[in-house]
Amino acid sequence: MYTSFFDVFSIGIGPSSSHTMGPMRAAARFVEELRKSGRLEKVASVKVFLYGSLALTGEGHGTPSAVVYGLLGEDAETIDLGRNFIRELQVSNCLLLGGIHPIDFNMARDISLEKEMTLPQHANGMRFLALDAQGDILADEVFFSIGGGAVRRADEIDEMPEEPQPVPYSFRTCAELVDICRRERMTIAAVVRVNEGTLRPVPVVNSRVRLVWQTMQQAVDRGIATTGILPGGLKLSRRAPQIYRRLEEKFHNNDVDALTIIDWINLWAFAVAEENAAGGRVVTAPTMGSAGVIPAVMRYYDRFGCKESPYSRETGASVFLLTASAICSLYRANASISGAEVGCQGEVGVACSMAAAGLAAAMGGTIEQIENAAEIAMEHNLGLTCDPVCGLVQVPCIERNAIGAVKAVNAARLALRGDGSHYVSLDSVIATMDETGRALAAGYRETALAGLAKNALTC
C-alpha cells in the first residue's frame, strides 16, 4: 500500500500532527460536509467531544484551538499565524463556521475533554455534533486522527481500500520495494518520483518537493533566530539561539573540536522542534512531534555531506526526501506513525529511520545500504515510549529530536561503511516495532499518565 509524498510530508502548524493538524482537518471536513449538503446555514450550535489521548493530552497539544481553526474553515498550510483567532473568539463568543456562518461558540462549554473514555477503533477519537435552533441534531460524525495529520471518518477506519492511490510501482513491504528497484534498475527515489508523476503533473511534484525542503529550512532559520519562552506550564526557554551563539563564538575563536558537528546537528533539530512547540509552521516528517529530525539531517547533508555525494545539492535534497517518503510508506502500511498507538517509536523512531535512509541515498548508497541505514535507525529506537511531561510536546520531545537526528547520521554512516548486507531486514524491524508499540501499557502511548510525565515534574 503506497502512501504519497504529499501525504507523508504535509505543511502545517505545531505542536502535533495527530493532536493539532488531525483535529483541525477533521473539524474542517465536518464543516465542509455541512456546507456541501446545504445544512450549514441551519446550524445554531456545535458541540465537540475529544476522547482518549486527545482528551488526556489535548490541552498541552493545542487540540481545542486546532478544532476552532478547523471549524473556522482554516487550512493548516495557509492559516495566518499572525492572527489570534482564539483571542477574537474569547472576546466575541461568535465563531464564523466555515468562515461564513456565525454561531454562538464558547470553547470551555462546547469542547469537552472526555478523559475517562477511549473509542474502541483508535486512541485519537473525536465526535462533532451540529444542532439547529430547536436543538435537533443536523449532523453527528465521529472522526479519528490516525497519525501524521491524516484523518478518517468512523465509517472509513475499518474499510481502508487496499490501494487508496493506484500507482505503477505499488509496494507494501521493503522486500517488494527492493524487488522493484532491482527489476527495473531504479533507485528508491526514482520509484517514488514515477509513482508521484502518475498521481499529479511532474512540475507540481517537483515544486512540492522544493517547497517541503524550503519550509523545513525556513523552520530551522526561524528557530535559530527566535528567543523567548515556549507556551505551556513548563516555562521552558528556547535553547537554539543560545546554542547558535556559542557555536559562532567557538568558530570565530578557532575553538572547534572534532565533535562540533554534533553540536550543529543538535542545534538544527532544536530549532525546528522549538518552532513546533511554539505552534510555528513546520513539516510533518513524519509527524510534528518529530519534525526536527529530517531538517537537521538534511542541513547536515547540505553543509557537510554533499561534498562527498554524487549528486548536486538540490538533486541530493530531492533524492533524500523522496527516499525518506518511501520508508515512511512502509511504516504506515505495516505499523503506525502515531505516538498514541506505538509510542515515540512511531514518531522520532520513524523520523530517524527515514532520515538515515534519506541521507544514505543522498550520499549515493546502494539499495541494500539504504535499507540497512533505515533498519539500524529503527532497531535502536525499539521500545521508545511516549510520555510527554504535562502533555506538552517539549520534554522529552525537543531533545529527543536532536538525539534522533544524530542517531540517523550515525546509522547512515554505519550502513555506508558496509557493503549493505545485514542480518535483520527492515521488514522484520518494522514488524517488531509494531508489536512492541502495541504491547506498551497505555500510559506510555501519548496519555501523559506514566513514565517521565508521571515522575519528572508536576505541572
Minimum CB distance to ligand SF4 smaller for 347 or for 434: 347
Residue closer to ligand SF4 (CB basis): 71 or 448: 448
Binding range to ligand SF4, per CB under 6 A, among 134-142, 159-167, 229-237, 340-348: 340-348
CB 67 within 8 A of CB 129: no
Beta strands at 45-51 and 111-114: parallel, antiparallel or unpaired: parallel
Task: Report residue 232: phi and psi, to 5°.
Answer: 110, 175
Q: Extract the C-alpha cell encoding 441.
A: 501499557
Q: Does 220 bind ligand SF4 (CB under 6 A)?
A: no
Q: Which residue is nearest to ligand SF4 (CB)?
A: 289
Query: Other CB atoms closer than 10 Å to residue 7's CB: what's the count?
Result: 19
Tell which one of 293, 317, 373, 397 touches ligand SF4 (CB under 6 A).
Answer: 397
Residue (of 348, 26, 299) closest to 157 by Cα position: 26
The one among 344, 374, 411, 416 contacting ligand SF4 by CB under 6 A = 344
Q: Which stretch binds ligand SF4 (CB under 6 A): 115-123, 153-161, 220-228, 343-351?
A: 343-351
The piece of 129-137, 175-183, 206-214, 389-397 that touches ligand SF4 (CB under 6 A) is 389-397
Query: Binding of ligand SF4 at residue 103 (CB under 6 A)?
Result: no
Residues 6+ apart with CB under 8 A from 368: 178, 419, 420, 421, 422
Euclidean distance between CA atoms 95 and 267, whole angstroms = 40
Specify the residue, 205 or 278, whose C-beta has the smaller distance to ligand SF4: 278
Amino acid letter, 361: A
Query: Per CB under 6 A, does 329 bind ligand SF4?
Result: no
What is the Cα 121 distance to its own chain's centre?
21
Least spacing, CB of residue 264 vs ligand SF4, in Å: 21
Residue with cell 512492541: 436
Q: Which of 446, 447, 449, 453 binds ligand SF4 (CB under 6 A)?
A: 446
Among 279, 292, 339, 437, binds ligand SF4 (CB under 6 A): 339
Q: Does 379 bind ligand SF4 (CB under 6 A)?
A: no
Max Cα separation, the chain? 74
3-state secondary structure of 17: helix
Nearest to 284 by CA among 11, 76, 20: 11
CB of 269 to ligand SF4, least distance (A): 12
When asked if residue 358 is in the footprint of ligand SF4 (CB under 6 A), the reply is no
Chain residues in the site for ligand SF4 (CB under 6 A): 289-290, 339, 344, 347-348, 386, 388, 393, 396-397, 400, 446
